[in-house]
Amino acid sequence: MKEHAQHDTMGSSSSAARKPNSVTHKDQPVSTQRPRHGTENIESTAGAGKTQTMDLLLPANNEDDVKTAQDLQRDHPELFYVFEEMHSLIEKLEENQKSTWQWLDLQESIESSMEASYFKHYKKKRVLGRYMALLRAAGSFAEAYGDALEEAGLTAFTARTVESHQADAPLGFLVMLRSVLLNYTDSSLYFCEKLADTGIFKYFVEDLKESRTHLEDFDDVPDDCFVGSIGVLYNSARNPAIRQTIRKLDTVSVLLPFLKSKSEKVRLLVLLSLANMLDEDQNDLLLADDSVFDFILFILERAWKYQSHRFDGFSVEEVIDGMTGLAKNDSNKTLLVKKGVLPRLMNVLRDSSSDEEIEKAVKCVWELAFDEENRKDFNKNKELMDLLKQRKTSSDNAVAKASEGALWVLQMKTKDENKKSNKEQQVDISGHVMISYQWGDQKTLLQVKELLKADGYKLWMDVDNMGGSTLQAMAEAVQNASVVLVCMSERYKESQNCRSEAEYAFSLQKTIIPLLMQREYKPDGWLGMIKGTKLFFDFSGKYDFNKKLIELSRELGEKGKGLKADVVDGEVRTSAAVLKAAPVDAARGPATATWSNKDVHNWLVKSGFSRHSSLKDLSGEDLVFLKKLSYKAPEFFYTYVKGDLHLNDLRDIRRFSEAVERLN
């Protein structure tokens, strides 16, 4: 929904920016203060081949954020003075926390840090949002917001509650701060994550609860307060990683009554918000009155007919994106098709001149195609299939990737069909271990990958974000896998590429081992079905990483250790693996991996470690793994011995290392 001059609305998107759908705030006045460093001087410095970073200590969260912020400074000298104003704002907020809040001064600082002319330039706005996320801003904002509400005597920020507070200093500060939050949740999902950690979302849910008691106020155009509150939640819910935080505030139940509003704008804004918040169980609340699906299709049809491809500020691509969000819940897929979504999507695929609209339409078809009945019907629709094949050759990379993904799913066989064609299929332990994951979890999984490689496993992991353009490579990786590690999170569940991988592995009856990557996440829907009752390994950070890795290695056993394929970062090579030779062991007797608990106990006694209770739970397989780590990943080995096995004395560490090295 495009920006209007008089009130907050959904954000617009330009062809150049390719921005995601989100809620933004009206333009705020630009401060009359001028920057300490003029733009011209900075640009001339950059043009001379030099770089400039601020001398003052960056108010960032950690060293990595400092480095990233300095990279942004270097890459965007034209924004340098805005960065400085941001620093000044955070420093003032932190100083005020130690004394009495100076609301008017802080309001002016916020205004100075908001370069309103950039809010319609999405690329620059995105840089500013990212930069704000890197600063220690979120925590300071949350504390200031709560204190300002309390000092103003408000329990909620609504049109009714603020009517009698027009002259209060904290109120002006709150208006400006809400504008910052709305604009930067619009432009940075990372900023949304930072806010989620502060607990600030509870204030916006309280606003909506209070507004719910006066639903008659929302029979016309929604007011700024309502749109501001729902806007921050809507923008943040686009990030699957923090949806649980939003759900725990009972946000879905708070929003549902607004679907009865007489205002089409209110209903659609709420429906698009719910599309990103509903889980499988809560979706039943929406299905209780399926007229909401007729409503969103009606809005799409109206927007498509206008020359601007907008209706009441809502764009075609925005409405389609909302429908795709609703279709993430599998029970909605068939219903949307029955309601007539496909002909409308085909209109876009056939006649639109906008790559953004076409991409959204293709992704919606892709999502709907995960339903088996829809898939059968879509395959019979020759025009649809021809349109997708045509769009697969698009010069727009995003459109081409989405089209390839949709076609791939449409051609995918079911588990029963694969059973018929692979009656004598057996698990081939000589294949590799495939890591199927969502990009946000890469850092943790690279650690898993390297340490499993050190233990002799062959790994296939898409490290270079190959995505839809190489779906065939992904398919071959699944086909050649002994085991597929399905790395579960809400982001994984929402990803169409990830679902394509996981369901393909499931259809081929591959051994699937689930890894939990998001704390307290409970897989539901299609991902819950694939997980089933399988044992999963929690790498969300709740438990010790090293222990979980050893448990995972034990579960894998010999699967993925064969010599048929040496697999590195998504490339499969048909050659024997070349591993660094282990130290020759002169010891004799049964292989350590076969040791019983008594054998391990005897070894501990013989090696002089019987008094160390932290070693008593080690198995023979664990000892073999530790031996391999000692020469494949020595830094990890010594960290584990000291931190987890509690051998802190240098002599004990040396003796234990030597004893492990002598194992056979």
Tokens of 220: 């016309």
506 and 615 together in one domain: no
Q: With 0-12 CB in 10 A as exposed, 13-18 as middle and 19+ as buried, what is 412?
A: middle
The number of angstroms, rounded, from the C-alpha of 197 to the middle of its chain's C-alpha atoms is: 15
For residue 35, the tally of other CB atoms under 10 A from its CB is 17
Cα–Cα dist 653/242, whole Å = 42
Q: Give the end of a domain, one of 363, 392, 411.
A: 411
Domain with 618, as residue range(s), is 592-661
The domain tally of the chain equals 3
pLDDT tens-digit readout, 211-220: 998 888 888 8
| pLDDT for the residue 19 | 47
383 and 462 together in one domain: no
Assign 156 to helix, strand or coil: coil
386, HSE (Cβ side, Cα atoms, 13 Å): 4
The answer to whether 432 and 567 have CB atoms below 8 angstroms apart is yes
The answer to whether 484 and 505 have CB atoms below 8 angstroms apart is yes
543 and 509 together in one domain: yes
Cα–Cα dist 76/356, whole Å = 26
pLDDT tens-digit readout, 400-411: 999 999 999 999
- Residue among 196, 223, 150, 170 nearest 4 (CA): 223
Q: Which residues of the chain have pLDDT under 70?
A: 1-57, 98, 115-120, 166-167, 414-430, 464-470, 562-590, 631-633, 635
Cα–Cα dist 310/319, whole Å = 10
pLDDT tens-digit readout, 468-508: 446 778 888 999 999 999 999 999 999 999 999 999 999 99
Q: With 0-12 CB in 10 A as exposed, 13-18 as middle and 19+ as buried, what is 423?
A: exposed
Q: Look up tokens 């999405």; give the residue.
A: 122
- Residue ranges of E strands in 230-360: 310-311, 314-315
402 and 429 together in one domain: no
Cα–Cα dist 64/303, whole Å = 44
| pLDDT for the residue 63 | 83
pLDDT above 90: percentage of residues in the chain: 45
What is the radius of gyration, based on Cα positions, of the chain? 28
321 and 373 together in one domain: yes
Has residue 146 been placed in a domain?
no
Helices and strands in the chain, H and E counts:
33, 11
565 and 609 together in one domain: no
| pLDDT for the residue 124 | 86
Q: Look up tokens 């920006």; give the residue.
A: 3
Q: Give the end of a domain, one of 518, 540, 573.
A: 573
Assign 299 to helix, strand or coil: helix
**CATH code for the domain of 365:** 1.25.10.10
* Alpha-carbon distances, residue 63 vs 59, 68, 71, 135, 190 (angstroms): 10, 9, 12, 11, 17
**CATH code for the domain of 536:** 3.40.50.10140
403 and 439 together in one domain: no
Assign 223 to helix, strand or coil: coil
Has residue 625 been placed in a domain?
yes
544 and 465 together in one domain: yes
Helix H or strand E segment including 483: strand 481-488
State the DSSP string of 24-74.
Answer: EPPPPPPPSPPPSS-HHHHHHHHHTT-----SSPP-BSSHHHHHHHHHHHH
pLDDT tens-digit readout, 271-328: 999 999 988 888 888 887 888 899 999 999 999 999 999 988 789 998 999 999 999 9
552 and 603 together in one domain: no
Cα–Cα dist 642/657, whole Å = 11
Q: What is the 3-state secondary structure (H, E, C) of 495-562?
A: CHHHHHHHHHHHHCCCEEEEEECCCCCCCCHHHHHHHCCCCCEECCCCCCHHHHHHHHHHHHCCCCCC
638 and 536 together in one domain: no
Assign 568 to helix, strand or coil: strand
Has residue 143 been placed in a domain?
no
Tokens of 383: 């025009």
Cα–Cα dist 224/7, whole Å = 5
Has residue 585 been placed in a domain?
no
Helix H or strand E segment including 215: none
Residue type (1 letter), 277: M
Cα–Cα dist 121/14, whole Å = 9
* Alpha-carbon distances, residue 47 vs 9, 40, 44, 79 (angstroms): 38, 10, 5, 15
442 and 479 together in one domain: yes
pLDDT tens-digit readout, 356-390: 999 999 999 999 999 999 999 999 999 999 999 99
Has residue 129 been placed in a domain?
no
426 and 563 together in one domain: yes
Has residue 329 been placed in a domain?
yes
| pLDDT for the residue 415 | 60
Cα–Cα dist 259/331, whole Å = 20
| pLDDT for the residue 54 | 58
Q: Give the end of a domain, one of 362, 382, 411.
A: 411
* Alpha-carbon distances, residue 218 vs 95, 270, 608 (angstroms): 40, 12, 76
Cα–Cα dist 176/200, whole Å = 16
